[in-house]
């Protein structure tokens, strides 16, 4: 039992042998071991041992080494001894207790031969990339800059091109790269060349941790470095041959699962020293040392982080679009990755299928794609195209629930770093679209929501997106970088802003300016500012939409600590379908893609006044002062026509945060 | 959005109407509502309203009621208004905003008619049994004596004799007693006689809470008080007719589930005010008030609490036993409840089948039986005999896992209140028998372990009981009350103590004293102290057993903060079966039943010296000084013969703790 003195039973009239683990205490009941008629006792011991005599828990002055003192024999009198140096030979130390009758006549003796052994299971508890020796913090975990505790990565990447799907499904290590994903764990031992017969050192994990952690050890140092799994799903314990003398054995540890509702992220690994008694009698542990790891979370990357790779599907009908956006991507100096037909199998909604994030530990970090439970054709992309060396993959597959459109990742957003009433969120906060408190409306699959909550470092905020036909938060909110001290702005779709703009234009005599010029797929009758403003039904519907957005606006201001001036209202109009759910009236400009300072914005096809679209003009006016470049992309045929926009068809892998998640305190 | 000011959209040129919830703020963007050319604005309002003008979030001096002031019109200028008194009539208050052009020429006006309404959902957040009005703490929950938050009981008792199994499975309330188990929740409203057309007040629970809480409301006040469920498993929201004027509506709330691994115990109930817009457009919420409850945990009762009812099975072979123990029960002035054959169906292991505890809230408290997943015949007992008026029932049925003997409740114990290194456990700590870290041994069903952990108030300690054939903690540890300041002692089975005693006796010349006199079921050959002491195998096996117990002893000392003098070593001997698991060599005296100061101890049939059993003599010597009375019960035929003891065949319902669990901080 770590920390606690171990109880040893002396027997008068014979000597016993015992192993004494350095740093540990051994207690022996003197009174219980005394022969009948004994009234006092004395203790002798070798230098390597230090001995206390305890009366009812209170210590007496320690007996001088070699010398002999006497104490009255009393119920509850115990000896406590410990060793500070490891033995070079078995039984090279001893403690002898002599019992005395009334008048001081020696009656009998008892004693114990001791062998000092040092055992320590060590990890990088101070997170500096070095495995320190026997850290006092190795068995616990604490968040924050002053915190401590070792960290594991889920080896959900794939260093080796063949099956199984990803490294953490494999019980073999195929190359050194694989080890770099793993946390190092060192078993340090010191003592005689061999242990007394029958003693065993055993590494173990509990049944409940076995499916969450894997431990690897070199199998045969002589014939090439081959590493095999010694603890894991099917291996709860592993006997470690005692190396003898001073030794360090290296182990490599990987996480098998990200935290989720039923898994806090913490796992423990134990090393125990087992003592034999006799044939046919089970061994019993006399010492256990424990280390604790936390599995690193999956972290989302907001629009304000620099883009690295840009993903888009190549479809029959989006050649022009990809060409246009291609130049934008080049401008943002990030790589364009096109997902072709044989992989996307007719599914264009990149953003809904995958969400690119990363995972991070002091020893390593790599991007990880979260694969949506939604399966509409593209499910091969993440595994076939993304998963690979230092590119991880995680998939959430609900067992029972039916999937709703709210499960698409268009319905998951993450804010830039925010500070809310003094509370810092240096990794931002996740936004999840859900339904009103007062309705049985659609919600995101429990499994995905629970997964996002369980990552702990980007405290999710639930918004109300069920009022939309597609029900996705990215239809009304997004974030853009800004060059001023606030560093970002929140953009919200705003019918009110659109009506305000249109009324201004009307006053300026532009009431007959026409929308949807060169736009196909909508009925051809001429739609003017006047027509829009005079449409009572549309006005009421947009008043309702504005309320739904305002509800979210109030939540976002509170949960992200935003002021009015941190918010930009983007002119937008919606209409309600026959189920009373909102769909964009013209291409929805907030559903843009953000590549550093370059914005790929759905071309709104607004009213043309003086040969210019007054919506584009207004949006430029709002965003360019922040140092942003607006590029309006025609996405009618390719996306808008099927109720999506630019952003829904694309996905961006971004550079990770510089901030270390373990410095955050949930 | 509770707490947050709600955003209202003014439109110049027309007046809108709005409901204003007392205590809430409404924000209106003046700049956005201004007509083209406006440079300044003024505000007029009635007495019932208070108005602030905010420039970029900074407040200006409030406009004097009635009077008119002017402010420059500026981007980001908003009005914030609120009402402190409820309206007696619809639209009896108003705010008017006038816009002025350069030079002060009035251009246009906008305004809003306001109706003030008070809505508050109230609970007993300060736990004094009274539902206070709009407590600031009603929407959160905090542990400890200075804590706050309302409390629910799981109505797992059965006020009404017929199906369904227990009240919380029922959607009807059959009598007033049923309501007494429930927490009161009051919806308080004030305002005009009726609300403007189309407004709705709705009570709701989230999908994830719906299976954990039920809310009842009187159905027809006039024809007899009949209560029906308005929120619960199949009812996520409930429209409450607006009563008009000042009104209080009483609701009654019950928990449907005890906390478990997937349920923290906290549930939220919301009331929302829904605003209509126009035909065919969904309502939108303009105000939501939330209350939070914690479901009261299931609490175990240690041996140190006074016994109330004593349960034992009547079998063909235990007539004498029940008669003997009956007198003991009478002496402890608690009631004897015999479970007859037609219910126990041949299963005598009462202690393994059920564990009696209780649940407690400021408004009520009652005993609750936890039914083991183990089903060996007696499963009808808890439902048929115990469940009833103010007697609750909870059952944990694992879906997937196979059951081990460790699932029997003999393997669950609870300590008396302890203080560990300054940390108080006023309800004691639960002890669960499990297996060594280093083995794939048997453990308690995850479901039951998780349930015990989830109750939070009796922080479980895991012990090592897998070394025993039956694998139950009650085979080596129990607790007895003591009349001194420590209030209790922990009793541990101790082979070492037994060997010590036997050696003493041997020295006293009693080596030929014979065990098992009058004991049947064991081979008849004469067993003496000498024989036992000379049996090398038995000695080694008991040395091993002693180590297993010492391992637990060290854990218990640490986790319960005990000193040597708090522990009493009860002489015991074990032998190992062919699987290397321990079984008692003679009846195991720690597996006793504790009835106040009277102990029903398995008769050990120890060596008879001078016509007295030296084991009984020793045990008396150890326990009687504490003010306890030892009664040794012959349980060979009835229990010991089938590897159980007195305690395994009995179960005790005890008086609850005086301490309130919500004053504890986990």
ipTM of the complex: 0.70
Contact A277 B547 (CB under 8 A): yes
Strand B284-295 versus strand B150-152 pairing type? parallel
Percentage, residues of chain B above pLDDT 70: 86
**pLDDT value, residue B401:** 47
Residues 214-243 of B with CB under 8 A from A: 236-237
**Residue for token pair 């599995």:** A295
Determine whether A334 is an active site residue.
no
d(CA A546, CA A554): 12
**pLDDT value, residue B243:** 92
Contact B285 A5 (CB under 8 A): no
**Residue for token pair 């089903």:** B375
**pLDDT value, residue A531:** 95
Residues 193-212 of A with CB under 8 A from B: 202, 204, 206-208
d(CA A10, CA B496): 10
Residue A229 or residue B649, greater confidence: A229
User: Chain B within 8 Å of A261 (Cβ-Cβ)?
Assistant: yes
**pLDDT value, residue B163:** 46
Q: Are B411 and B374 in contact (CB under 8 A)?
A: no
User: Chain B within 8 Å of A14 (Cβ-Cβ)?
Assistant: no
Contact A1 B554 (CB under 8 A): yes
Q: Are A349 and A381 in contact (CB under 8 A)?
A: no
pTM for this prediction: 0.81
Interface size A-B, in CB pairs within 8 Å, comes to 164
Residues whose CB is less than 8 angstroms from the CB of residue B11 and which lie 6 or more positions away in sequence, other chains included: B33, B110
Contact B551 A284 (CB under 8 A): yes
* Residue in chain A nearest B271 by alpha carbon: A438
Residues 108-137 of A with CB under 8 A from B: none
All residues of chain A having their beta carbon less than 8 Å from the beta carbon of residue B440 are 207, 236-237
What distance in Å separates residue A389's CA from the closest CA in chain B? Answer: 35
* Residues B186-218 pLDDT 10s: 999 999 999 998 899 999 988 778 889 999 998
User: Chain B within 8 Å of A625 (Cβ-Cβ)?
Assistant: no
All residues of chain A having their beta carbon less than 8 Å from the beta carbon of residue B551 are 1, 284-285
**pLDDT value, residue B278:** 77
Strand partners, A37: none
Contact A202 B540 (CB under 8 A): no
Residues 434-493 of A with CB under 8 A from B: 436-440, 443, 446, 467
Residues 77-96 of A with CB under 8 A from B: 78
d(CA A397, CA B155): 35
Give the closest of A78, A285, A437 to B270, CB-based. Answer: A437
All residues of chain A having their beta carbon less than 8 Å from the beta carbon of residue B555 are 1, 4
Q: Are B434 and B372 in contact (CB under 8 A)?
A: no
* Residue in chain A nearest B287 by alpha carbon: A551
Test mutation, B26, B438, B495, B496, chain A, max A CBs within 10 A: B438
Q: Does pLDDT of A380 surpass 50?
A: yes
What distance in Å separates residue B238's CA from the closest CA in chain A? Answer: 9
User: Chain A within 8 Å of B275 (Cβ-Cβ)?
Assistant: yes
Q: Are B204 and B193 in contact (CB under 8 A)?
A: no
Alpha helices by DSSP H, B402-494: 446-454
**pLDDT value, residue B358:** 94
All residues of chain B having their beta carbon less than 8 Å from the beta carbon of residue A278 are 540, 544
Contact B282 A237 (CB under 8 A): no
Q: Are B287 and B7 in contact (CB under 8 A)?
A: no
Residue A13 or residue A593, greater confidence: A593
**pLDDT value, residue A658:** 96
User: Chain A within 8 Å of B372 (Cβ-Cβ)?
Assistant: no
All residues of chain B having their beta carbon less than 8 Å from the beta carbon of residue A262 are 261-262
* Residue in chain A nearest B35 by alpha carbon: A504
Q: CA separation (Å) from B37 to B40, B75, B97?
A: 9, 13, 15
Contact B564 A32 (CB under 8 A): no
Give the residue ranges of chain B where pLDDT is below 50. 1-3, 65, 161-164, 399-401
Residues 337-366 of A with CB under 8 A from B: none
The three-class DSSP label of residue A554 is: helix
Give the closest of A284, A558, A563 to B4, CB-based. Answer: A558
Report residue A256 as tokens.
């098998």
Give the closest of A5, A207, A281 to B443, CB-based. Answer: A207
**pLDDT value, residue A176:** 66
User: Chain B within 8 Å of A263 (Cβ-Cβ)?
Assistant: no
User: Chain A within 8 Å of B533 (Cβ-Cβ)?
Assistant: no
d(CA B642, CA B664): 41
**pLDDT value, residue B213:** 93
d(CA A425, CA A613): 39
Residue B632 or residue A351, greater confidence: B632
Catalytic choice (A20, A156, A498, A648): A648
Q: Does pLDDT of A63 surpass 60?
A: no
Contact A32 B497 (CB under 8 A): yes
Give the closest of B7, B285, B540 to A438, CB-based. Answer: B285
Q: Does pLDDT of A390 surpass 80?
A: no
What distance in Å separates residue A78's CA from the closest CA in chain B? Answer: 9
d(CA B189, CA B118): 5
Q: Are B143 and B120 in contact (CB under 8 A)?
A: no
Q: CA separation (Å) from B143 to B266, B540, B660?
A: 12, 50, 11
Q: Are A57 and B564 in contact (CB under 8 A)?
A: yes
d(CA A214, CA A234): 10
What distance in Å separates residue A287's CA from the closest CA in chain B? Answer: 10
Strand partners, B582: B468, B576
All residues of chain B having their beta carbon less than 8 Å from the beta carbon of residue A261 are 262
Q: Which of A208, A350, A218, A179 is nearest to B453 (CA)?
A: A208
Q: Does pLDDT of A149 surpass 70?
A: yes
The three-class DSSP label of residue B417 is: coil
User: Chain B within 8 Å of A563 (Cβ-Cβ)?
Assistant: yes
Report residue B91 as tokens.
């639209």
* Residues A392-445 pLDDT 10s: 777 765 544 455 556 677 788 999 999 998 899 999 999 998 876 555 556 666
Q: Does pLDDT of A379 surpass 70?
A: no
- Phi and psi at residue B126, to the nearest 5°: -100, 10
**pLDDT value, residue B240:** 94
All residues of chain A having their beta carbon less than 8 Å from the beta carbon of residue B547 are 275, 277, 284, 286
Give the closest of B1, B36, B554 to A6, CB-based. Answer: B554
């Amino acid at each position: 039992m770590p920390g606690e003195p171990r109880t040893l039973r002396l027997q008068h009239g014979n000597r016993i042998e015992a192993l004494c683990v350095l740093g540990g205490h051994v207690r022996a009941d003197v009174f219980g071991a005394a022969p009948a008629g004994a009234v006092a006792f004395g203790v002798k011991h070798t230098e390597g041992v230090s001995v206390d005599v305890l009366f009812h828990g209170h210590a007496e002055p320690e007996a001088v080494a070699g010398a002999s003192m006497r104490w009255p024999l009393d119920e509850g009198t115990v000896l406590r001894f410990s060793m500070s140096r490891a033995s070079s030979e078995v039984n090279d130390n001893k403690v002898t207790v002599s019992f005395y009758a009334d008048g001081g006549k020696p009656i009998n003796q008892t004693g114990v031969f001791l062998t000092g052994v040092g055992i320590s299971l060590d990890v990088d508890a101070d997170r500096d990339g070095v495995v320190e020796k026997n850290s006092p913090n190795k068995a616990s975990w604490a968040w924050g800059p002053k915190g401590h505790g070792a960290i594991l990565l889920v080896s959900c990447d794939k260093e080796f091109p063949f099956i199984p799907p990803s490294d953490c499904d494999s019980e073999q290590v195929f190359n050194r790269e694989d080890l770099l994903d793993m946390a190092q764990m060192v078993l340090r031992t010191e003592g005689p060349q061999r242990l007394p017969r029958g003693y065993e050192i055993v590494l173990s994990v509990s049944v409940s941790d076995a499916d969450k952690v894997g431990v690897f050890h070199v199998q045969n140092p002589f014939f090439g470095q081959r590493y095999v799994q010694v603890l894991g799903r099917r291996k709860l314990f592993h006997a470690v041959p005692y190396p003898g003398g001073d030794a360090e054995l290296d182990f490599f540890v990987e996480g098998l699962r990200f935290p989720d509702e039923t898994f806090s992220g913490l796992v423990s690994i134990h090393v125990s020293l087992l003592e034999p008694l006799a044939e046919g009698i089970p061994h019993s542990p006399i010492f256990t040392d424990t280390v604790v790891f936390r599995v690193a979370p999956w972290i989302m990357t907001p629009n304000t982080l620099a883009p690295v790779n840009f993903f888009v599907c190549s479809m029959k009908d989006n050649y022009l679009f990809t060409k246009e956006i291609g130049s934008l991507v080049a401008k943002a100096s990030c790589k364009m990755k096109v997902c072709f037909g044989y992989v996307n199998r007719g599914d264009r909604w990149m953003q809904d299928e995958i969400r690119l994030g990363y995972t991070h530990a002091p020893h390593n970090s790599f991007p990880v794609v979260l694969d949506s439970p939604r399966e509409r054709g593209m499910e091969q992309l993440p595994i076939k195209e993304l998963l690979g060396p230092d590119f991880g993959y995680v998939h959430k597959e609900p067992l029972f629930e039916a999937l709703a459109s709210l499960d698409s990742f268009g319905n998951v957003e993450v804010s830039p770093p925010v500070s809310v009433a003094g509370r810092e969120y240096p990794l931002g906060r996740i936004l999840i679209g859900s339904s009103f408190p007062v309705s049985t409306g659609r919600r995101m699959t429990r499994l995905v929501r629970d997964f996002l909550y369980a990552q702990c470092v980007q405290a999710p905020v639930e918004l109300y997106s069920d009022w939309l036909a597609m029900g996705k938060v990215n239809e009304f909110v997004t974030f853009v970088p800004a060059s001023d001290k606030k560093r970002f702005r929140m953009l919200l779709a705003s019918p009110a802003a659109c009506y305000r703009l249109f009324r201004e234009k009307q006053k300026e005599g532009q009431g007959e300016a026409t929308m949807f010029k060169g736009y196909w797929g909508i009925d051809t009758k001429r739609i003017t500012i006047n027509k829009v403003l005079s449409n009572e039904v549309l006005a009421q519907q947009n008043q309702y939409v504005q309320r739904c957005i305002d509800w979210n606006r109030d939540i976002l201001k509170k949960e992200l600590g935003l002021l009015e001036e941190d918010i930009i209202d983007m002119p937008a109009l919606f209409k309600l379908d026959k189920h009373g759910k909102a769909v964009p009236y013209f291409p929805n400009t907030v559903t843009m893609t953000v590549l550093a300072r370059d914005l790929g914005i759905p071309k709104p096809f607004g009213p043309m006044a003086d040969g210019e679209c007054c919506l584009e003009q207004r949006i430029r006016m709002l965003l360019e002062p922040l140092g942003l470049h607006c590029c309006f992309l025609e996405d009618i045929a390719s996306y808008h026509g099927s109720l999506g926009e630019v952003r829904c068809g694309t996905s961006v892998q971004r550079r990770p945060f510089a901030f270390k998640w373990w410095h955050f305190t949930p």
